[in-house]
Structure 1
């Protein structure tokens, strides 16, 4: 079996960045083995950026209970300027980001690279660290990395579903609630402690942290950052050296806000909490669970390996009840289609790129927090997608919270399965920057308006595929701790005992960036500076938007992040 590209990269003394050989970013690898940094070889077109995976040993407390040894480590993706210093403490600025719900470190890839490039254009060297939550230690990316090395998604599927070994390793299966009881103890307090311990390990000088380190997050990550800003890690408000607000030079929130607790309304009122005692992870029988979250990575892998090739991934995956139900929900045109199963998604022909994009695009994915504007279907007839709800109904004012979950855009679905079924055209994908190209078709909803315009499309489809399929730490999170979600909306006694500095948020500069077409994440705190609005962006676009935007626009989020951290 061929080794994965990540494993091959780990042995390299140099990596190729923008066609130039540069030293691998080994940083401060500890002699006692409590820190491991592994260079990452990336196919990103953004030059001048070095990437690595960093793992730091931070053992969980005994009261968490039995858990895998791998979960005594915390990990993050580190991006830095290839022309800058290898030592993080010598960088001009460092950004550290908490991911949102069901989100991993890999989701920050495009934003990190774009921000570093923007700063470099101003003569500065910044680093970007994207955190992986403790629960992500349970993920097994062996198959996906092997499929990337072999340029064959079937290798990955065979590892996860057909007992195919990779370097002598066999997939242990997707973990269930009865196997991960220890995660019932991993909530807000442990998540904040993990970030604090990691920051102190990587930047041990408190003065450096206070001057150079900017803390923030995307979606739920902004709420986590709000708690961090108010937190007192020793529980004694009289000693503030350990206070969260003294660890960071400023705060940033991406399609979110820096505040301790969910603001209510919109999408946030629909975030589930679960019962960590009986259900340590948030998982549904279909659509949202470890298996379906991993499926997005496989779809990205297929698109990376062969973007224009005809997709067979959805057919090659074993058709468990979970997968069949999930695909029905995602691809059903209406309730009748859902109930009859005619036609099913297998009756349509898609390129690998199209199959991946349909799972994430704002005009097809029904869940707003998993949406990005990556373009639109091409190559066949398109109709309104009326499941789970017709667009006209979702527009009714009393369904505002539901629309906050679904996102603001009309949903579309291919309809040309052909007759006999399965003999229709192969649907292709029109990228974000080709919507207004000469001769491009204008697909319209039944209200007579185009499903999309160039102003609503900001993410390059192939770079999204690369972030999903190539990142060594997942874009999507398989195992989201129910306790973290519950703590975000309803603090427990431990949180009350440590959230002691309500003025900590406004003690530091704040940048909030909102997606102009994103989900509703509640009203802004009037005591904070007004949010920067990214026009046309959706919830994930604030992380995935392309460096070059339609109409010559600059990429809004990275421009403002770079200006914010360098100006403070």
Structure 2
């Protein structure tokens, strides 16, 4: 069997949300920005002292400056067994995109919650385009949830810095020491993750909001979410932040809320017995989690190895996209995707077959990113029972035609998909997404809670949905997971009937036939797949996605500007 297949399958596992199970223990936590030596590896299998690392901050393209920011956040509650979160995990972390090295006043700050299992780099392309199109008049803060602090990215960051993908495997598999550090593998039990649910992540988000003057939040802070992130954003908007018995929705501190091809409607409502017992389907029940089991989502049992294969091969695709991949880490799980031995493939083809709309097995992973340069055939995917495309010939070496090399052109560049999958100092994938967070989102999915509801006993405060008076934007991808804004009709009817006083669109109704102008704005993108909304490339993406989104964002902020220092 060809060595090239394993990445295709591994990347596909990111999308297997419907098949996700959960497992038990993340790796030893360590900073994602550890230095790697630049020297050649000496005989003892260590890299030397020459410092090489992925910068925490810097200009990534003209007019776009990116910085990984880490601030203190309230400690998560201890587990019933007494396990406490390590101090380095009690943080709020985000990629801060702005126009210059030193912050300057901006009209709007956009805070972006990633999907599942996704990290801050999932918003990299969207952030770049919004910054450029706005002339630097906004900032975007892409959240890196606390579980990302458990990832040891030393090997990946060193591999990127040295442009040597194999260096990552030497660190994670072979015991290579980098700048005095050796990979420690997985700890015995992170029982504290049982408490990393919705309330903990709301607390982390509010630590970020506290950086912005309270008087400015309602005027110019907008919260957006993609995929699972959209569901989180809905729950957060309804979170009761009131005191002394006076309910107040967290949306009262926001200038607007945008939901990008996702939302709570994807998570069936569960009762308390299910919450404690069998769980939500994606996540185990609370009793299992508090017993120290299945604490983070795993993808068909392949976990970290699959994610590392994703990142290493994406790095290969950025360095040498048309080189045929010969990597033993790509072999073992090939039949999960192709059901046959695959032919030789370039790194670009591996990424393409895994992520393209025609071959990726699940909508939540797909982008319209070009086509295979070689004959294909249809087969029924064992992962979703859908008909998908795979290579049809064993005697052909497969490469990939990018989105602008096919006729008609598609939406997302394979180069962007590769870049966001590997580029540091953090990453695109959340290796250890807490099952408790997914479970809690399912528990509040109806947004019909009151203070007497069973969910309140578990710290869930999404009881103020009827008070959500912020303007809403729904972006639906016709080839994605929320193909029509009609999926939000129930939600639209349960929030405040009009946009609240003191806002630029005060009094606007929630009718969904007003385009981008009403209190429930809709942007329909019928020929877009799920991930096109955040990774779209080229002038067409600017016209159809980023400029309309930017126009909506800026139309809902007040006059003036805000400065948030470093």
Residues 353 and 428, structure 1, Cα contact 8 Å, conserved in 2:
yes
The alignment's TM-score, normalised by the length of structure 1, stands at 0.74
Q: Matched residues in 1 for 2:299 and 2:313: separation?
A: 20
1:253 to 1:524, Cα distance in 2 relative to 1, 3 A: same
Are 1:79 and 2:41 an aligned pair? no
Pair 1:102 & 2:138 matched: no
Deviations 1:12-66 (A, max 9, x none): xxxxxxxxxxxxxxxxxxxxxxxxxx31454xxx531111111112242452433
Helix, strand or coil for the counterpart of 1:91? coil
Q: Which residue of 463, 466, 469 maps to 1:500?
A: 463
Checking the alignment, whether the CA contact within 8 Å between 2:297 and 2:432 is kept in structure 1 is yes
> Is 1:2 the equivalent of 2:38?
yes
CA distance in 2, matches of 1:511, 1:164: 48
1:396-411 correspondence runs (5 A): 410-411=387-388
The CA deviation string for residues 473-495 of structure 1, in whole angstroms up to 9 with x for no partner, is 21111111111111111243346
Q: CA deviation at 1:472?
A: 2.1
**Given the two structures, how large is their TM-score scaled by the length of structure 2?**
0.74
1:362 to 357, 364, 367: 357
Matches within 5 A, 1:18-97: 38-40=56-58, 42=60, 47-64=62-79, 65-82=83-100, 86-87=102-103, 90-97=105-112
Residues 147-166 of structure 1 correspond to what in structure 2 (within 5 A)? Answer: 147-166=159-178
Q: Is the 8 A contact 1:73 1:134 kept in 2?
A: yes
SS in structure 1 opposite 2:96? strand
Q: Which residue of 2 aligns with 1:303?
A: 317
- 1:60–1:434 Cα change, 3 Å: same
Separation (CA, whole Å) in 2 of partners of 1:416 and 1:76: 44
Q: Which residue of 1 aligns with 2:304?
A: 290
- Is 1:538 matched with 2:529? yes
Kindly state the Cα deviation for residue 9 of structure 1 after the two structures are TM-superposed.
6.1
Unaligned 5+ runs, structure 2: 1-36, 40-46, 271-278, 445-454, 494-509, 511-519, 557-566
Structure 1 pair 530–474 and aligned structure 2 pair: CA distance change class (3 A): same
Note the C-alpha offset of 1:235: 5.8
1:328 paired to 2:335 = yes
Residue 415 of structure 1 is matched in structure 2 by 392
Q: Deviations over 1:150-183 (max 9, x none)?
A: 11110011111111122111112256xx522211
Give matches, 1:334-345, under 5 Å. 337=340, 343=341, 345=342
**1:509-520 correspondence runs (5 A):** 509-520=471-482
Q: Residue in 2 aligned with 1:467?
A: 420
Contact 1:74 1:194 survives alignment (8 Å): yes
Distance, in Å, in 1 between the alignment partners of 2:230 and 2:172 is 33
Q: Which 4+ runs in 1 deviate beyond 4 A?
A: 3-10, 234-237, 494-497
1:231 to 230, 239, 242: 239
From 238, 247, 250, the equivalent of 1:244 is 250
- Over 3 Å counting, the alpha-carbon distance change for 1:524 and 1:530 in structure 2 is farther
Identify the residue that residue 452 of structure 2 maps to in structure 1. Answer: none
* In structure 1, C-alpha distance between the alignment counterparts of 2:296 and 2:544, rounded to whole Å: 34
1:199 maps to 209
The equivalent residue for 1:442 is: none
Of 244-253 and 68-77, the range deviating more from structure 2: 68-77
| Secondary structure of 1:106 counterpart | helix
Give the whole-Å Cα distance in 2 for the aligned partners of 1:459 and 1:286: 30
Q: Higher relative contact order by CA 8 Å / sep ≥ 6: 1 or 2?
A: 2
For the aligned residues, what is the CA RMSD?
2.9
Q: 1:80-119 deviations in whole A, cap 9, x for unaligned?
A: 123xx8336x211110011111111111010111111222
Aligned-pair CA distance for 1:500 = 2.9
Q: Which of 481, 488, 491 is residue 441 of structure 2 equivalent to? A: 488
Displacement of 1:329 in angstroms is: 1.0
Q: Which residue of 1 aligns with 2:372?
A: 377
Tell me which residue corresponds to 1:262.
267
**In the aligned structure 2, how far is the partner of 1:215 from the partner of 1:143?**
33
Q: Any idea what SS the aligned residue of 2:134 has?
A: helix
